[in-house]
C-alpha cells in the first residue's frame, strides 16, 4: 500500500492505477482506477472511466461519469451526474442526484443546525 499527497488540480489519468492512501488540498480528478482510502478537505471528481473503491472522506464528492464503490463521508456535499454510479453508504449534509445517475446504498444526512426560535411578536 502506498501513500500519496498531491496538489490542487491533480489528475489520475485514464490509464493510471493506484492502490493506497490519497490525501490532497484543492481538487483532484480521477479518470483511472484507485483503490484504498481518500482523505481530503477538498473536492474529489470521479470522471468518465474513473473507478474509486474503498473509503472516501472529502469536503465534496462529484461523480460525473465514473464508478465509486465506497463508504463515503462528504462534509459539504455529494453530486452524482449520469452516467455516474455510486455504490455504498453516504454521510453528507447535501446530496444531489441527477436523473440517469445510479445510487445504491444508504444516505444519511445529518440535521442542519436548528435556527433559534423567533421571539413572539406582540
Contact predicate 82/98, CB 8 Å? yes
pLDDT over 50 at 117, yes or no: no
**pTM to 2 decimals?**
0.84
pLDDT over 80 at 61, yes or no: yes
What does pLDDT average to over the chain?
87
Give 2-39 pLDDT, tens digit per residue. 655 555 566 778 888 989 999 988 999 999 999 999 99
Mean pLDDT of the region 94-107: 97
Give 79-95 pLDDT, tens digit per residue. 999 999 999 999 999 99
Q: Where are the domains of the chain?
A: 2-108
The pLDDT value recorded for residue 5 is: 52
pLDDT over 70 at 109, yes or no: yes
Sign of the dihedral defined by the CA atoms of residues 60, 79, 22, 55, in that order: positive
Alpha carbon 9 to its chain centroid, in Å, reads 16
Mean pLDDT of the region 91-105: 97
The pLDDT value recorded for residue 16 is: 85
pLDDT over 70 at 53, yes or no: yes
- Helix, strand counts (H, E) of the chain: 0, 13
Q: What does residue 27 show for φ and ψ, rounded to 5 degrees?
A: -125, 135
Alpha carbon 60 to its chain centroid, in Å, reads 5
Amino acid at each position: 500500500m502506498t501513500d500519496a499527497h498531491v496538489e490542487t488540480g491533480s489528475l489520475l489519468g485514464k490509464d493510471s492505477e493506484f492502490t493506497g492512501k490519497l490525501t490532497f488540498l484543492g481538487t483532484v480528478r480521477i479518470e483511472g482506477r484507485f483503490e484504498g482510502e481518500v482523505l481530503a478537505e477538498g473536492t474529489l471528481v470521479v470522471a468518465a472511466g474513473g473507478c474509486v473503491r474503498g473509503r472516501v472522506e472529502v469536503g465534496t464528492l462529484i461523480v460525473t461519469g465514473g464508478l465509486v464503490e465506497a463508504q463515503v463521508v462528504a462534509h459539504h456535499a455529494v453530486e452524482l451526474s449520469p452516467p455516474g454510479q455510486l455504490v455504498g453508504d453516504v454521510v453528507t449534509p447535501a446530496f444531489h442526484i441527477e436523473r440517469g445517475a445510479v445510487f445504491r446504498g444508504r444516505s444519511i444526512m445529518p440535521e442542519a443546525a436548528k435556527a433559534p426560535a423567533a421571539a413572539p411578536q406582540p
